[in-house]
Structure 1
Amino acid sequence: MEEKYLDMVMVPLGLLLLAIYHLWLLFTIARDPKRTVIGLDAQARQRWVRAMMIDTMQNGVLAVQTLRNNIMASTVLATTAITLTSVISVFVRITTTTTSASLLLYGNKSPAAYTIKYFTISLCFILAFLCNVQSIRYDAHVSFLVTTGEAGGVPADYVACSLNRGSFFWSLGLRAFYLSFTLFLWIFGPIPMLASSVAMCCLLFFLDTTTEFTRGFHVSSALKEDVTEEV
């Protein structure tokens, strides 16, 4: 296979691995949410909202401070994303393909390939910016709703749904940052990009699954049942 055709094979293969992993993650969240960190945290947030809305006079300040921390985290990521997009747009206007750099690159060295690489990285950062902005929007909306309490006529399930949507958008923005790292390695060739895609799938599987914790939870539940039966 010629060197210039490696990008046409390895880059789609790396993106396909990431897409298959995230499809499996979505399927697992829908079928067995307790096996994933996203599903388990979503259930925990629902319980947290109900606990906060029982007594808003006592828990209102705690709820607002917690949501403020989420808004600050999303703001930092959104600012970082839009700043990196601006920096990349400057690099696109400047010719970066030098002779010394092309000797270290094994793959397509055409100027059009460099433009596509920087453009895809910019798209990832723009997506991360938009997702984090939506996360800020939902968290700011929840900060008003959670302080009304159940006596205010707002169902706790609706507030929990809004909070989970904000958290899901934050997770999508973080995934866009992960993908941008893989696409950044594409600048150095398709082989580092494919290797980073495989490593990213393994790392995300370790970060997204809770098999070890759920197994311990089931074991502790079984021990409690045995103790109650003996008593």
Structure 2
Amino acid sequence: MGEIHWTEIVFGAATFVVLTIYHIHWVYQVRRTPLQTYRGVTKHLQRVWVESVITEKRDMLSVQTLRNWIMASSFLASTAMIIGLGLLSFLFKPDHISEIPFDPSLIFSRMKTLFMAKLMVLMVHFFFAFFSFTLSIRYMNQINFMINVPIDCDPMLSPELIANTLDTGMVHYTMGMRAFYLSVVATLWLFGPVWMFLGSLVMVVVLYKLDHSCALEYSTARCDIKTR
């Protein structure tokens, strides 16, 4: 691969540190003060929504809402796979496809430039997004059955269990979207490590705006669900 310039190492490490510190801080806030983050607010509202659907028997509402999530996840999963396969086809040119080895060390030995390694990192982002969105679809399909089963038929199928399953699906959806966001930083790496580092700083600001809901106050919020 030749000699790697010092800027690749310095700015690459700086980018990794910046993004890692932000996400550690975000996870800490989600656990300690969840209602100050959109992740925590969404989780809270999901539980309220599940209880409302089960109590008031809003079957059509639940099916339509989950269908919209499944359609969005399907579109994003297809997009991620198309981009990932496109990068894979560019990474291994047609005249070398028949010679692709199964040993990863041999694959890396055929990468003549750092540019190929950058493309591979970008490809991993989109494949990760694909698996995250498909897992989200899996859990959403399970919710379609679980949420319409009367509690009397199976006492173990509680609103708490359904809400936790829904939250698991939303976690995978969030991870898929996060992979899309971070792929922007990986794309900027193709133009140079300085661009990647500057992009990571801008991305942290954007993610902070998207992840935090400081203007929302749920500390005194109440939701009384009544049966018809």
Q: Normalization by structure 1: what TM-score?
A: 0.83
Q: Deviations over 1:74-108 (max 9, x none)?
A: 0011000000011111221359xxxxxxxxxxxxx
Q: Deviations over 1:123-177 (max 9, x none)?
A: 1111000000110000000010001132232101000000000001000000001
Deviates more, 1:9-18 or 1:42-51: 9-18
2:67 maps to 68
- For residues 125-164 of structure 1, what are the structure 2 equivalents within 5 Å? 125-153=126-154, 154-164=157-167
1:78 maps to 77
SS of residue matched to 1:160: helix
- CA shift, 1:111, in A, is 3.9
**Structure 1 position 87 matched with structure 2 position 86:** yes
* CA–CA separation in structure 2 for the residues paired with 1:3 and 1:82: 30
2:102 maps to none
* CA–CA separation in structure 1 for the residues paired with 2:153 and 2:20: 43
Q: Percent of aligned pairs with the same residue?
A: 29
**Structure 1 position 11 matched with structure 2 position 12:** yes
Q: Which structure 2 residue ranges, 5 or more long, are not aligned?
A: 95-110, 221-228
Q: Deviations over 1:50-86 (max 9, x none)?
A: 1101133xx0011011000000010011000000011
Q: Normalization by structure 2: what TM-score?
A: 0.84
**Structure 1 position 209 matched with structure 2 position 215:** no
- For residues 35-54 of structure 1, what are the structure 2 equivalents within 5 Å? 35-54=36-55
Q: Which has the higher helix share?
A: 1
- CA shift, 1:3, in A, is 8.1
Q: Which structure 1 residue ranges, 5 or more long, are not aligned?
A: 96-109, 222-231
Q: CA-atom RMSD, angstroms?
A: 1.9
Task: Give the count of matched residue pairs.
Answer: 201
2:27 maps to 26
CA contact (8 A) 1:55 1:149 kept: no
* CA–CA separation in structure 2 for the residues paired with 1:204 and 1:24: 12
SS of residue matched to 2:149: coil
